[in-house]
């Protein structure tokens, strides 16, 4: 994750563009960190003294929670946790520093540090789908550039075939994501999913 100017971006190693980009905030962003216990949540601090929580599992286009921490500009944030790998626990407290040297400890509500049912699978599928879309867009841009340069038709045909394969891959990822959402919704209601009937 990179934090700068008025937005935060989440990157993947093999992409040239950010996988996720927040909308522009009303104030300059100063720091950010991922939740150690929630796959879909991350925290941002702002120069106007506010802390924002983005929860991509809950909603992707809006801030899930904002809190005024200080009248001074916030400079850093750290979330408490113990353990490593799959054994991480905690995430209940956030330490936030401001420009005046004050550190504020906030106790977070349970929904901000407790992993939701199927959250890891759903977030993995969301990120996989977005990464596949970005790769497909990159391949399409390359194809358009080659067509502009009058590349021989046999090469252009091969690239079109490659693009069709990428579209099929994207469709499989989206179908899996939709099935996972339906299965998770059925379990949450206590129904037996249609696939199992």
Encode pLDDT of 41-62 as tens digits.
999 999 999 999 999 888 878 8
Asked if 50 contacts 21 with a C-beta cutoff of 8 angstroms, the reply is no
Q: Residue 96 in contact with residue 74, Cβ under 8 Å? A: yes
Q: Tell me 61's DSSP state.
A: S
In angstroms, the CA 61 to CA 90 distance is: 27
Could you tell me which residue, 71 or 161, shows the higher pLDDT? 71
Lowest mean pLDDT among 23-32, 93-102, 129-138, 148-157: 148-157
In tens, the pLDDT along 153-196 reads: 666 666 667 777 777 777 787 787 777 777 665 554 455 555 54
With beta carbons less than 8 A apart as the criterion, state whether 95 and 85 touch.
Answer: no
The whole-number pLDDT of residue 152 equals: 60
DSSP for 117-153 reads: TTHHHHHHHHHHHHHHHHHHHHHHHHHHHHHHTT--H
- 2-112 is classed CATH 2.130.10.30: no
**Nearest residue to 52 (alpha-carbon basis) of 69, 71, 72:** 69
Q: What global pTM score does this model have? A: 0.67
3-state helix, strand, coil in the chain (%, to 5): 40, 30, 35
Q: CA angle, 164 as apex, 162 and 165 as ends, to 5°?
A: 65
**Domain ranges across the chain:** 2-112, 119-196
Say which residue, 81 or 103, is predicted with more confidence: 103
Of 69, 70, 55, 68, the closest CA to residue 22 belongs to 55
Q: Is the pLDDT of residue 18 over 90?
A: no
């Amino acid at each position: 994750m990179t934090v700068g100017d008025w937005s935060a971006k989440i990157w993947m190693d093999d992409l040239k563009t950010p996988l996720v980009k927040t909308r522009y905030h009303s104030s300059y962003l100063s720091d950010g960190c991922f939740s150690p216990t929630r796959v879909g949540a991350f925290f941002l601090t702002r120069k106007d003294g506010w802390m924002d929580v983005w929860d991509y599992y809950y909603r992707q286009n809006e801030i899930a929670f904002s809190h005024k921490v200080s009248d001074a500009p916030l400079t850093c944030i750290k979330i408490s946790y113990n353990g490593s790998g799959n054994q991480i626990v905690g995430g209940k407290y956030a330490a936030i520093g401001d420009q005046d040297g004050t550190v504020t400890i906030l106790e977070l509500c349970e929904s901000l540090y407790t992993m939701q049912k199927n959250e890891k699978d759903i977030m993995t599928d969301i990120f996989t789908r977005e990464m596949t879309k970005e790769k497909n867009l990159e391949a399409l841009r390359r194809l358009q550039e080659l067509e502009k340069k009058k590349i021989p038709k046999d090469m252009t045909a091969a690239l079109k075939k490659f693009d069709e394969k990428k579209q099929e891959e994207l469709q499989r990822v989206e179908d899996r994501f939709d099935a996972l959402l339906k299965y998770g919704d059925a379990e949450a209601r206590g129904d037996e999913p249609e696939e199992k009937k």
